[in-house]
Structure 1
Amino acid sequence: MPGRFGLAVGGGIRDPQRWKDTVDPATGEPLATVASATPEEVDAAVVTARAAAPQWAERSPGERGAVLRRLGALVRRDADVLARLETRDTGKPLAQGRADIAAAARYFEFYGSVVEGFLGDSIPLGPGSLAVVERVPHGVTGHVVPWNYPAQITARSVGAALAVGNAAVVKPADEAPLVALAYARLAREAGIPDGVLNVLPGGAEAGSALVAHRDVDHVSFTGSVATGRVVAAACADRGRPALLELGGKSAHLVLEGADLGRAVPVIARALLLHAGQTCTAGTRVVVHESLHADLVAALAPFFTAATVGPGLGDPTVGPVVSAMQAERVRGFIDRAEREGAVVAAQTPMTDTGGGYFVPPVLFDQVAQTAELFLQEVFGPVLAVTSVSSDTEAIDAAHNSDYGLTAAVWCTDVDRALRTARSLDVGQSYVNGYAPGGGVELPFGGTRDSGYGREKGVEALREYSRTRTLFIDIASH
């Protein structure tokens, strides 16, 4: 692995004004020296993207799509290297890193294909006129990418933005920028013109410069609620649209008569995925009282049998991303015990050296007023709460400021579907759960989970705007 990673701008690599060392979460030791962009460097990247955008937009959807599909093929070609970069950068187990890279390739392939069928519309107004509605790119899109799923989130937002003809400036988190920088190199090999994809790692200063830039026409942001509100305000100040994917406190509603043999493994895997650092982790289980004891007993072995260790060793659970994040999660665990939650199971902790490891914890009897029930932890902590009816389960699910995803478990499908449709969330599953869902499924939330939709064909609408052409037809 090269020791230094510069700024990927205009098809080349530029040395920055300043460097920053990233840290391997599995060891706490330096991993790489990476550029940390200044506002001036962000401005230069936006100017570069602005110059490249018109020519890229003029290409046909078929031409842009072919290039994106080539990029997807190159990601698959380099999948092993990219997966290891993702694992070293974020700490996640290698199997999860490989799955993320496979999903990333699929995003580029999907958007490279579906854009060819992304059609406009016509409006019937009678024989004297013709109205046509076409979809056109915004121009320059800014993408602020978090540290938990950089490989996937970069691919899903950039893939859609480039497919409809935008030029992109990407600001990956300075904790985990390596795969996004690798995409910039592969994009040039795939034939994406210089300046169409620019990647500048950096911290809050770079992010603020990007989202407030006068020549950025659309911003996508994935991160915290507090920062998302700042991003929304910055975009509103200059009258530009924003897509916000913020936090989540997703609930599993295990109704009376649910099949625990089907539900429990899915609930456990979703929570343990990437040490719970997933906005759709499914961190609350709201279970009918008749199934409460059996559910906790069935969940416990997934926690006691889990392994914790460096991601390259492919354990069940790797480290969290930083020392600060580890302390944050431990604080939630300590406060939950003080508030009366009961530890039903916990993963044994072995000597893992100097990394940022937090053993997973299963909490039972979590009150609906407790911090653990209400707030996003972003760590491997699951809260179980019992209720006595479907109505109470729905009310409990809504007892949160978030509205990202949820799952309903019940063998009575009519009852499950009624419940799922009553939930104020962006994605609602029945007898299954996939954190974030597939490439084809629109993804986003309600309330404090943000607005706008990534993924699926819906993302092509987000990264484009309508233009109406009206033609008056002269009579004979």
Structure 2
Amino acid sequence: MTFDRSELIEEARSTGTVAGLPRGHFIDGRIVASVSGREMESSDPGRGAPFASVAAGGAEDVATAVAAARAALSGPWSRMTPAARGEILMRASQLLCERAARFAVVETLDSGKLLAESEGDVGGVVRTFAYYAGAADKLQGDSVPLGPDYLGVTIEEPVGVVAQIVPWNYPLSTAARGIAPALAAGCTLVVKPAEQTPFTTLMLAELLHEAGLPDGVLNVVAGTGAEAGAALVAHPGIDHITFTGSVATGQRVMRAAAEHATRLQLELGGKSPVVLMADCEIETAIEGVIGAIYENAGQICSAGSRLIVEKAIAENVLGRLVARVEAMTLGHGLGDAAIGPINSVQQLARIESHVERARAAGNRILTGGSTVRPEDCGGGWFYRPTIVLARGLDDPLVQEEIFGPVLTVQIVSGLEEAIAAANATSYALVAGIYTRDHAQAWRFARAVDAGQVYINEFFAGGVAMPFGGNRKSGFGRAKGMAGLRSYCKLKSVVARL
């Protein structure tokens, strides 16, 4: 079944929603209501109003989902060949490609991001399932030379039942980058999407079931973090937890995982630097900076939220950058705006609080720095794209993650000072540099503490490149073959001949 993009946009604009959205959890192969019967509303950030309701789960729903996943772990799924698992993932990729327009429109309604950004996310998920479809039968162990009297081999086995906690900023793509490799490895899953953005994860579960996934292999429980999320990470039937979210919540997840010594993968916050050296191609660099901070209204853990610019070009760069930013339009994600809304009224208040504290502390705001209500968006949640000149390395603007369209500027005298500035926070997720001098670029890449470094382009690499952070940005890696092995446990077998 394919969907017409224009018709879906018109439906969403005229009715405020899209028909046929799942309203319950997806447990053991079907949509079910919460045990309590409770539901919760999900809002369209562009209008600031609810557009659909979904089940509100709790500990009982989580227990049912975990039981289904544990039963499926020893069912037909465990006897399926890796190649057969890969065929299911490839069918899912093809089905998603056919239904990409519907997924993208729903993602925009639920998260607020621009439709072009949602379409990019869906395209990335199509690629993710195709990538891990091809990787499923390539999880090879090693033969270890132990001499003529022994044979030693290692075997990659599925880790078991995986709990995945999905954030609200990239609901579909973050869910997929955990679901696809876990299924390729032979695991079963219970996924808890963010309460703000549950729908595309539920739709993805339905699609995978249609592609041939056995009952119970993938389960999705909607609900709040306090009720469904906390119950899931504390459940003794979980073998591995993948969490993406804030540092504070990640620390609580770690404490819950410690109770049962559960394996853990964390992708937390970031305060990522984008360095512009004096020899860079300025127009290319400015384009990269704008994409790095203002995509998804800056609500990206790996956003390039700190511009570190060499003094020799600072005035030129900032003048051009401010002019570009002030020309950017804000509006509903289904329109033709350059920046969409903030995901929730709570997040909007957090962003506003950060900037107001910076203003009160004497930081120079070069542009933006206020909420705004576009004419066509009613009560939507919007914040002007903002650029602030930081006072020093210890400034909260430099040290704290804002998670919004706020770019902090630091001016440095050369490469060594740029490296020191890049490493000056407790986060270590992403870093980028623009320079024509590749020796300089690689010195930066070696010296900066980050899970991934981009040279002359930001957000490069796609599903094939491992992604994750160090220090307060977390540990473990998603994507690539490293992401696949995250869902495996290594077994060594030694035989005396």
Per the shorter chain, which TM-score range? over 0.9
Give the whole-Å Cα distance in 2 for the aligned partners of 1:314 and 1:373.
32
Q: Choose 330-339 or 302-311, whichever is displaced more.
A: 330-339
Alpha-carbon distance in 2 for matches of 1:113, 1:449: 30
The whole-number CA distance in structure 2 between the counterparts of 1:10 and 1:23 is: 27
More deviation in 52-61 or 274-283? Answer: 52-61
User: Matched residues in 2 for 1:151 and 1:8: separation?
Assistant: 15
**For residues 452 and 205 of structure 2, what CA distance do their matches in structure 1 show?**
31
Query: In structure 1, how many angstroms separate the alpha carbons of the residues matched to 2:445 and 2:391?
Result: 23
Asked whether the 8 Å contact 2:22–2:202 carries over to 1, the reply is no
Q: 2:128 aligns with which of 99, 107, 110?
A: 107
Residue in 1 that maps onto 2:494: 470
For the residues of structure 1 that align with 2:198 and 2:466, how far apart are their CA atoms? 25
Task: Specify whether residues 462 and 96 from structure 1 end up closer, same or farther in structure 2 by C-alpha distance, changes over 3 A only.
Answer: same
Matches within 5 A, 1:176-215: 176-204=197-225, 205-215=227-237
Structure 2 contact 113–297 (Cα < 8 Å) conserved: yes
Any gaps of 5 or more consecutive residues in structure 2? 1-18
Alignment-derived partner of residue 310 in structure 2 = 288
- What is the rounded CA distance, in whole Å, between the counterparts of 1:218 and 1:203 in structure 2? 20
Instruction: Tell me whether 113-122 or 363-372 shows the greater mean CA deviation.
Output: 363-372
Partner in structure 2 of residue 122 of structure 1: 143
Per-residue deviation at 1:346?
Answer: 3.0
Larger deviation, residues 317-326 vs 227-236: 227-236
Corresponding residue for 1:311?
333
Aligned residue-pair number: 472
Structure 2 counterpart of 1:326, from 345, 348, 361: 348
In structure 2, C-alpha distance between the alignment counterparts of 1:241 and 1:232, rounded to whole Å: 9
> How far off is 1:445 after superposition?
0.2
Structure 2 counterpart of 1:74, one-letter code: L
Post-superposition offset of 1:24:
1.1
Aligned match for 2:471, one of 438, 443, 447: 447
Deviations 1:302-342 (A, max 9, x none): 21111101111142111111111111111112122222222
Aligned-partner SS, 1:45: helix
Q: For residue 13 of structure 2, what is the aligned residue in structure 1?
A: none
Q: Determine if contact 2:162/2:241 at 8 Å carries over to the other structure.
A: yes
Closer/same/farther in 2, CA of residues 238 and 347 from structure 1, 3 Å limit: closer
The amino acid that maps onto 1:239 is: A
Task: Tell me, yes or no, if the aligned pair for 1:65 and 1:163 is still in contact at 8 Å.
Answer: yes
After superposition, the CA RMSD in angstroms is: 1.4
Deviations 1:352-390 (A, max 9, x none): 310111111112344322211111001001011101122
Match of 1:7 in 2: 25
Of residues 54-63 and 183-192 in structure 1, the stretch that sits farther from structure 2 once superposed is 54-63
TM-score where L is the length of structure 1: 0.97
Q: Of the candidates 169, 178, 186, which is equivalent to residue 157 of structure 1?
A: 178
Structure 2 residue 61 is the aligned partner of structure 1 residue 37? no
Contact 1:138/1:465 (<8 A) preserved: yes
CA distance, structure 2, for counterparts of residue 123 and residue 58 of structure 1: 27
CA distance in 1, matches of 2:140, 2:313: 49
Q: Deviations over 1:183-211 (max 9, x none)?
A: 11101110000100101111122111111
Q: How far apart are the structure 2 equivalents of 1:180 and 1:3?
A: 11
Would the aligned equivalents of 1:307 and 1:347 in 2 still touch at CA under 8 Å? Answer: no
Residue aligning to 2:7: none
* TM superposition shift of 1:343: 2.2
1:386 to 411, 427, 432: 411
CA deviation after TM superposition for structure 1 residue 4, in Å: 5.8
After the TM superposition, which residues 178-257 of structure 1 pair with which residues of structure 2 at under 5 Å, given as runs?
178-204=199-225, 205-257=227-279
| Structure 2 Cα separation of the partners of residues 335 and 259 of structure 1 | 34
- Unpaired segments of 5 or more residues in structure 1? none
Note if 1:89 corresponds to 2:110: yes
Task: Output one character per residue of 1:21-70: Cα deviation in whole Å (capped at 9) or x when no partner.
Answer: 11111111111111111101101100000000123132111000010010
Q: Tell me, what secondary structure is at the counterpart of 2:453? A: strand
Preserved contact between residue 390 and residue 397 of structure 2 (Cα < 8 Å): no
Q: d(CA) in 2 for partners of 1:292 and 1:420?
A: 22
- Confirm or deny that 1:395 pairs with 2:395: no
The answer to whether the 8 A contact 1:421-1:428 is kept is no
Contact kept, 8 Å, 1:366 with 1:373, in 2: the verdict is no
| 1:347 Cα offset (Å) | 9.0
| Letter aligned with residue 219 of structure 2 | N
The percentage of aligned residue pairs carrying the same residue is: 40
Task: Verify the 8 A CA contact 1:248 1:279 in the aligned structure 2.
Answer: yes
Structure 1 Cα separation of the partners of residues 221 and 194 of structure 2: 9
On the 8 A contact 2:22/2:199 being kept in 1, the answer is no
Amino acid paired to 2:479: K
SS at match of 2:334: helix
TM-score (norm. length: structure 2): 0.93
1:63-74 equivalence runs, <5 A:
63-74=84-95
Aligned with 1:110: secondary structure? helix
Q: Answer yes or no: is the 8 Å Cα contact 1:57–1:137 preserved in 2.
A: no
2:391 equivalent to 1:369: no
- State the Cα distance separating 1:78 from its structure 2 match: 0.6
Letter in 1 for 2:241: V
Q: Secondary structure at the match of 1:312?
A: coil
Matched, 1:461 2:482: no
SS at match of 1:270: helix
